[in-house]
Structure 1
Amino acid sequence: MTIAIPYGRQDISQDDIDEVVAVLRSDFLTQGPVVPSFENSVAQFCGAKYAVAVNSATSALHIACLALGVGEGDIVWTTPITFVASANCALYCGAEIDFIDIDPFTYNLNASLLADKLAEAEKIGQLPKVLIPVHLCGQSCDMAKIYELSLKYGFKIIEDASHAIGAKYKGEPIGSGRYSDITVFSFHPVKIITTGEGGMATTNSESLAKRMQLFRSHGIRALSDKAHHLNNEIWNYEQIELGFNYRMTDLQAALGLSQMDRLNYFVECRNNIASRYDEALVDLPLITPWQHQDSNSSYHLYPIRIKAPFGEKNQREIYDELRRSGIGVNLHYIPVYRQPFYASRGFFAGYCPEAENYYHQAISLPIFPALSHEDQDYVIDAVKKATVI
């Protein structure tokens, strides 16, 4: 079948192209001046002191864990309704991973269940070192409650805001660091802004920023020509950690820096499309995304949940029918612990019941700034036809 309308798509302007071409004609394709400019732009937008650009949000999650000292014997908790990278980053460090079930309304990590699990974990000496709440679809988790629990139980927080640049929580930009140690953004092509592939970590800690900068570039730091080494040897750099090649190029940064000029516009477009969907789909046998009053979503995704009483179409039937109509609906996400790799580590179907309920009902509809009114109407009509017998 031919997919005419994908669930997400990048929006590239002539200005974006011109900025990338300017880098191609410059002296630096990588490790030049544009990456720091992009970092400064994101940090200023979010109200954070520091930003560290990398080649993917997965890399950002990895170095964030490393910067916080995650290693063998440690435990990291996250949500099951996310991309696998939110959990994999802990395993990269040799830590163990566990999952907290989701809130039935926001689909984010359930802060009340987190409190219950922390109380039980404290009794047996199995508290997490780090918690990774994920702002699913662009809506913030209950960060004030999560931060309060972190003060009580002593864990660190990495906000996985891969979906959420441009979103707000309690009136402040996500990424400000008010309720966490580090926040991670993604710039994959279907995200709010793109660098092709790329990610960013923001923090208000100078030491964490320096640690992440070290880990993204082989664990190497530059030395001045006055560095003190014996025998008059030339040392202009030294490796002091086992790091990685996670650097972002100036080409990617140029695209991201240009896209930042339209970030607010992109978020506004996504919210407008979501509002049209909300209004048009209100009387159908499905649930549209619920928004908490403390959150202003960036609407990276727009998942509907299929309510299928006996005799009506189920999720699979509607999903297939929409794709046959040329609409590239998707599923975000299969619970991470259901993946074969995680099943081999002892997790099982039903481990997080609310996540399973969501998984068996959710379908992500197309939402991106360039989605025309005509295509929006086509999606709306197709959903109406698919959900009614």
Structure 2
Amino acid sequence: MKSIPYGRQDVNETDIQAVIEVLRSDWLTQGPAVERFEQAVADYCGAGFAVATCNATAALHLACRALELGPGDMLWTSPNSFVASANCALYCGAAVDFVDIDPRTYNMSVEALEDKLALAEKQGRLPKIVVPVHFAGQACDMRAIRALAERYGFRIIEDASHAIGGSYRGERVGSGRYADITVFSFHPVKLITTGEGGMALTNDSGLARRLHRLRSHGISREPEAMRQAPEGLWYYEQIELGFNYRLTDIQAALGLSQLQRLDGFVERRHELARRYDVLLAGLPVIAPWRHPDAHSAFHLYVIRLRLDTISRTRREVFAALREAGIGVNVHYIPIHTQPYYRQLGFMPGAFPQAEKYYAAAITLPLYPQLRAEEQDRVCSALCEAVA
């Protein structure tokens, strides 16, 4: 029997034709398709500027650099995320710390953040940047986090890698109302895909210019940014040390085509999530909780096993599902428990809510093409696994 993956891209003939058109054009690397994709995403989200990158990790790194994060600075993020949310600080020579999660949303806890900031202020160790992560597509409580930023003076990078197409308090995620920079991911299992790709959005024109420059080796062709008068139309200057984090026109064409179907993808994910809610009712699991202020993009549908009511461990349930051809996954192993971060001094027990969540979490298959009979099969296998 064919395995059901936990996530899968949806590429149709229109997407394929969009890529073919670029392959037949004069531009393959960074050209007009990238600019069109950037403008389309900015317009969709209601943001002033968008800068496409080769992946979301690169966008996080550029965002940190654009906000002048460096040695002696501190970045705080959620332990319940992929390691990139923390690694971006280390790339800049800065230090990392974490803020425990809310037990219902699995996002950064505002209460834990407020308590940690009050203590850090007394110790003279306030963060320069805080990176809230919109886990599974549901936005963090950004209004409250923004209020704390104004009080304590930190900048905000919104890691919305899971959340394009979602909204918070009636505005699209990425609008920039509450964050200095927002980052999206276009990995194949995300809401829309460019194969690999990412994007940084901001309403600050200065940050946008710096993101553009850092993305392409720190080079500028803008006369106003140069140290001397241009020698000719060919002339450019490297203003600072940058990177080659560019997206190609091939990828941008795919992303632009996919963007036209984003709202439909999100609607379909909500349909499937509601159906899961019904099918799983009565089983010893905790279904995802929806915050009333947020409309999730539903990148992931994560359940938590009620381990105190079943005779199997999470490991045994996971293995049983995999053996039944259900491609479940776990999102995420808390970052602070990774060997690399233990070398930096972090230890298990430091962020108990994240660890408690992780111990019981399983990600079920969720993607637009998931059929009702496949979803029934997932739930039947889960019922048998926890029996």
TM-score interval, smaller chain: over 0.9
Corresponding residue number in structure 1 for 2:253: 254
More deviation, 273-282/305-314: 305-314
Q: 2:332 — aligned with what?
A: 333
Q: Which residue in the other structure is 1:163 paired with?
A: 162
Aligned to 1:42: 41
- Specify the code of the residue in structure 1 equivalent to 2:363: S
C-alpha change, 1:326 and 1:232, in structure 2 (3 Å) is: closer
TM-score (structure 2 length as normaliser): 0.97
User: What is the alpha-carbon distance in structure 1 between the residues aligned to residue 227 and residue 247 of structure 2?
Assistant: 31
SS state at 1:327 partner: coil
Q: Does 1:382 find its partner at 2:381?
A: yes
Q: Give the SS at the match of 2:76.
A: strand
Report the counterpart of residue 283 of structure 2 in structure 1: 284
Q: How far apart, in 2, do the equivalents of 1:80 and 1:212 lie?
A: 26
CA distance in 2, matches of 1:223, 1:141: 37
Structure-1-length-normalised TM-score: 0.97
Does the 8 Å contact 1:3/1:323 carry over to 2? no
Q: 1:344 matched to which residue of 2?
A: 343
RMSD: 1.6
Once the two structures are TM-superposed, the CA of residue 374 in structure 1 deviates from its matched residue by 1.3
Which ranges of structure 2 fall in alignment gaps of 5 or more residues? none
Secondary structure of 1:97's partner? strand
Q: How does 1:1-389 map to 2 (within 5 A)?
A: 4-223=3-222, 229=228, 236-309=235-308, 312-388=311-387
- Determine if contact 1:223/1:235 at 8 Å carries over to the other structure: no
- Write the deviation string for residues 280-299 of structure 1: whole angstroms up to 9, x where unpaired: 10111110000110010011
Deviation of the 1:239 alpha carbon: 0.2
State how far apart, in whole Å, the 2-side matches of 1:322 and 1:310 are: 18
Q: Displacement of 1:32 after TM fit?
A: 1.0
Output the CA distance in 1 between the equivalents of 2:248 and 2:234.
25
Q: Secondary structure at the match of 1:51?
A: strand
Deviation at 1:22, TM superposition (A): 0.1
Q: Is the 8 A contact 2:7 2:365 kept in 1?
A: yes
How far apart, in 2, do the equivalents of 1:312 and 1:229 lie? 73
1:138 is matched by which residue type in structure 2? G
Looking at structure 2, the residues matched to 236 and 256 of structure 1 have their Cα atoms a distance apart, in angstroms, of 31
Could you list the per-position Cα deviations for residues 168-204 of structure 1 after superposition, in whole angstroms to 9, with x for gaps in the alignment?
1011100001111000000000000000000001110
Q: Would the alpha carbon gap of residues 245 and 308 (structure 1) be closer, same or farther in structure 2, given more than 3 Å must change? A: same
Whole-Å separation in 2 of the counterparts to 1:357 and 1:273:
26
What is the distance in 1 between the residues matched to 2:7 and 2:228? 53
Quote how far apart the aligned CAs of 1:234 are.
8.0
Secondary structure, counterpart of 1:82 in structure 2:
coil
> How much does 1:314 deviate?
2.1
Supply the distance in 2 between the matched residues of 1:284 and 1:387 (Cα, whole angstroms). Answer: 8
Task: Decide whether the 8 Å contact of 1:102 with 1:110 is kept in 2.
Answer: yes
Shift of 1:54: 0.3
How far residue 232 of structure 1 moved from its aligned partner, in angstroms, is 6.0
Q: Would you say the 8 A contact 2:310–2:386 is kept in 1?
A: no
Q: 1:83 to 1:39 in 2, by over 3 A?
A: same
Q: Deviations over 1:295-321 (max 9, x none)?
A: 100110011000022652221111010
The aligned length equals 386
Structure 1 runs of 4+ with >4 Å offset: 227-235
For the residues of structure 1 that align with 2:227 and 2:101, how far apart are their CA atoms?
A: 54
- Structure 1 regions of 5+ residues with no counterpart? none
The 2-side partners of 1:319 and 1:31 are apart by 42
User: Percent identity among equivalent residues?
Assistant: 58
**Which one-letter code corresponds to 1:50 in the other structure?**
F
**What is the alpha-carbon distance in structure 1 between the residues aligned to residue 191 and residue 325 of structure 2?**
23
- Taking the aligned partners of 1:128 and 1:300, their CA distance within structure 2 comes to 29
Whole-angstrom distance in 1 between the partners of 2:229 and 2:102: 60
For the residue of structure 2 that corresponds to 1:378, the secondary structure is helix
SS at the partner of 2:93?
A: coil
Q: Structure 1 residues 268 and 311 mapped into 2: Cα distance closer, same or farther (>3 Å)?
A: closer
Q: Deviations over 1:235-262 (max 9, x none)?
A: 6111011000000000000000000000
CA distance in 2, matches of 1:58, 1:248: 13
Q: Report Cα offsets for 1:256-276 as digits up to 9, x if no partner.
A: 000000000000111111000
Find the residue that maps to 1:77 and give its secondary structure. Answer: strand
